[in-house]
Structure 1
Amino acid sequence: MLQSAAVFSKVGTFKLELPPANIEILAGVRWGAIDAFPTPAYWLFQIFERRLTGGPPNYKLGRTLAEELGACLLGGHGISADVGIAAYKRLKSEGIFELNADASEQRIFDLLLSPLDVFGRQVRYRFAAQKARYLSGGLELIHGAPVNCTGRVLREWLVTLPGVGLKTASWIARNWMGADDVAILDIHILRFGQAIGLFDRSLKVERDYLKLEEQFLAFSAGMDTKPSELDAVIWHEMANSPFAVREMTRAAESKTISSTKVRRQVRDRNQLTLI
C-alpha cells in the first residue's frame, strides 16, 4: 500500500505518494515510514517540501571559485558553520579573494587570529596557522582550475591544493557547480547511512571515501533524487534541530532505523501531514 502525505504551501495543498514502507530501494535498505525519522521516505518528503515551499536550493557561498575555496576550507571538521562563515566574511571584506590581492600566509593568519564576532559573541578561530597556510597556497593556484568540466574532474584538481581532501573538494564542487556526481560525506551522512543499513560500519570516510560515495550516489538514484539535494536537506535538519542530531546518533549507534515519529523542532516548519 502506497504511503501518502501532504505538503501545504501558499498556493494549495500537494499530495505526495511514496512506495510502501517495506519496499527496498537497494538491497537491505527499505523506504520505511514517511513519518519515522530518519527513514529514506522521511527525507524524500523533506526534499519535496522544500522544492514546493522554499524554491530551488542555492549552494554557492562565494561569487568566484576563489571565494568558494575560502568558504569551504575555513569551515569543516572542528569548526562550526557559523564560525567558518564569520571567518570567510572577514577575509572577503579585506579583499583576500580578489585577483592579485595580498593573500600571504602571514596576512591571512593575522586576520584569523583576531576574535570573530559570531552573533554578538567573540569567538577565536581554531587552526588559524594551519588554515592560513592552506588557504594562501590554494589561492596561488586556484586560477588554474579546469573549466567546463564535471564535478569529479574539478574535484580531482582541487585535491591537489594544500589542505583540500576529498570531502572539502566535493563540497566546493557541489557548491560551485551544483555537481551531482560527487557526495559530501560528513558525519551526518555517515550516521544516516549506517542507521538505514546503507553503509557498512567497517567503512571509514578517511579510508573508504570513494566506496561510500558510490553507495550514496546509487542510493540517491534509487530514490530518484539529486545527491546534492539529499545531502543539503539532511545537513539543514541536523543544523537546526537538536532532536534530529540526537535521534540520528541514537539510530546509528543502535544499528536500527528509528521508529520515532516526527517531532518537529526545526524553525518555522510544520508541514508533515499523513493522509
Structure 2
Amino acid sequence: MKQTAAVFVGRAAIQVELPPIEAEVLPGVAWGAIEAFPSPAYWTYQVLARRLIAQPVRYRLGQTLPEEVGACLLGGHGIPAAIGLAAFHKLKAAGVFARATSEDELLRLLSEKMSLGDRSVGYRFAKQKACYLSAALARLANETPPSRSGRHLRDWLVSIPGIGYKTASWISRNWLDACDVAILDIHILRAGFLAGFFSPELTVERDYLRLEEQFLAFSAAVGVQASELDAVIWLEMKSSPATVTALMGGHRNGVQPTPRPARRPKPSIGARTKNHDADARQRSLIE
C-alpha cells in the first residue's frame, strides 16, 4: 500500500504519495516510513514539503565566485560557522575579493581580533588559510574557471592547494546550484549509513567519489535534486544531535550506525516543520 501524507500550504492541504514502506528505492534499501527519521521516504517528503511551502535553502554566500571561494575556504572543518562568516565579511569589507591581495595582507587581516556579538574572537588557522586563499584568488584572477557543470568546476577547484573535494563540491553546488556533485560531511555520511544508501565499508578520506556516486544515485532514485537533498539532510541532521547520537548507538564521533529508526510526528503536520535559519546554518556545511 502506498504511503500518503499532507503538506499544508495556507488553507490548502496538498497530498504527497510515496511508495510502500517495504518497497525498494535502491537494491537492498527500503523506502521506509515517511515519519521514520531518517528513512529515504522521510528525506523525500522533507524536500517536497519545503518546495511546496516555499522554504528552499539558499546556497550562495557570495556575490562573485572569488567571494564564494573565500566564504567556503574560511569556513569548514574546525571553524565555527559564525567565526568563518565573520572572517568572510571582514575580508569582503577590506575589498580583498575584488583585487590582487598578498598572502601577507590576508594573514594580517585574519590575525586581527573580530567582533562577534559582544565578544572579541580570533580566527584559527590564519596562516594556513591566508596561504590557501591567496593561491585561490590568484588562480581566479588569471584563469577562467569552467562553468559547464558543477563537476567541471569542482575538478578545476581541487587543483588549487588547500581545496579538497568537500570544499570544492560546496563551492560548486553553491555557485552553480549544481546537482552533479555532493558535499559529503559527517552529517551526510551518518544519514547515508543510517538510511542504507552508503556502503558501510567506504570512507570519505579514501572513497569520496564512490560515495558521491551513491549519493547521486539515491537522489535520482527518490526523484529529488541532489543539491536540495544534501542541504535538507544537513539541516535536519545538524539540528537533531540527540536523536542522531541515539541512532548511532551513542557514538557521535563515528559514522557506523546502530540501526534503530526513530519515529517523528506524523507527516500530516510536516508542513509545519522547524523553521531553520537556512542562511546562518548554510554558512558552514562542513564542520
TM-score for the superposition, normalised by structure 1? 0.89
Map 1:1-275 onto structure 2 (within 5 A).
1-98=1-98, 100-101=99-100, 103-143=101-141, 144-247=143-246, 249-250=248-249, 253-256=256-259, 258-262=260-264, 270-271=272-273
Does the Cα contact within 8 Å between 1:134 and 1:162 map onto a contact in 2? yes
Instruction: Give the whole-Å Cα distance in 1 for the aligned partners of 2:118 and 2:12.
Output: 39
Identity %: 52
Amino acid at match of 1:262: R
Assess, with a 3 A threshold, how the Cα gap between structure 1 residues 249 and 74 changes in structure 2: closer, same or farther. farther
Amino acid at match of 2:231: A
Instruction: Give the whole-Å Cα distance in 1 for the aligned partners of 2:82 and 2:127.
Output: 19
The higher-RCO structure (CA 8 Å, 6+ apart) is 2
User: How much is the aligned-residue C-alpha RMSD, in angstroms?
Assistant: 2.2
Does the Cα contact within 8 Å between 1:137 and 1:162 map onto a contact in 2? yes
The Cα of 1:17 is off from its aligned counterpart by: 1.0
Instruction: Give the whole-Å Cα distance in 1 for the aligned partners of 2:248 and 2:110.
Output: 32
Instruction: Give the whole-Å Cα distance in 2 for the aligned partners of 1:184 and 1:194.
Output: 15
Does the Cα contact within 8 Å between 2:30 and 2:40 map onto a contact in 1? yes
Instruction: Give the whole-Å Cα distance in 1 for the aligned partners of 2:33 and 2:113.
Output: 46
Q: Deviations over 1:144-182 (max 9, x none)?
A: 133441111111111111201111111111000011111
Instruction: Give the whole-Å Cα distance in 2 for the aligned partners of 1:153 and 1:191.
Output: 27
Does the Cα contact within 8 Å between 1:7 and 1:14 map onto a contact in 2? yes
Instruction: Give the whole-Å Cα distance in 2 for the aligned partners of 1:224 and 1:263.
Output: 23
Segments of structure 1 that go 5 or more residues without pairing to the other structure are none
Task: Between 136-145 and 219-228, report the one with greater CA deviation.
Answer: 136-145
Q: Name the SS of the counterpart of 2:97 in structure 1.
A: coil
Q: Deviations over 1:110-129 (max 9, x none)?
A: 22122333343333221111
Instruction: Give the whole-Å Cα distance in 2 for the aligned partners of 1:31 and 1:247.
Output: 21
Does the Cα contact within 8 Å between 1:8 and 1:271 map onto a contact in 2? no
Does the Cα contact within 8 Å between 1:145 and 1:154 map onto a contact in 2? no
Q: Name the SS of the counterpart of 1:32 in structure 2.
A: coil
Amino acid at match of 1:130: Q
Q: Name the SS of the counterpart of 2:272 in structure 1.
A: coil
Assess, with a 3 A threshold, how the Cα gap between structure 1 residues 141 and 194 changes in structure 2: closer, same or farther. same
Instruction: Give the whole-Å Cα distance in 1 for the aligned partners of 2:243 and 2:121.
Output: 26
Q: Deviations over 1:54-77 (max 9, x none)?
A: 344321111111001001111111
Instruction: Give the whole-Å Cα distance in 2 for the aligned partners of 1:118 and 1:247.
Output: 33
Does the Cα contact within 8 Å between 2:7 and 2:13 map onto a contact in 1? yes
Does the Cα contact within 8 Å between 2:247 and 2:261 map onto a contact in 1? no
Amino acid at match of 2:272: N
Segments of structure 2 that go 5 or more residues without pairing to the other structure are 275-287
Does the Cα contact within 8 Å between 1:167 and 1:185 map onto a contact in 2? yes
Instruction: Give the whole-Å Cα distance in 2 for the aligned partners of 1:93 and 1:248.
Output: 43
Does the Cα contact within 8 Å between 1:185 and 1:205 map onto a contact in 2? yes
Does the Cα contact within 8 Å between 1:191 and 1:248 map onto a contact in 2? no
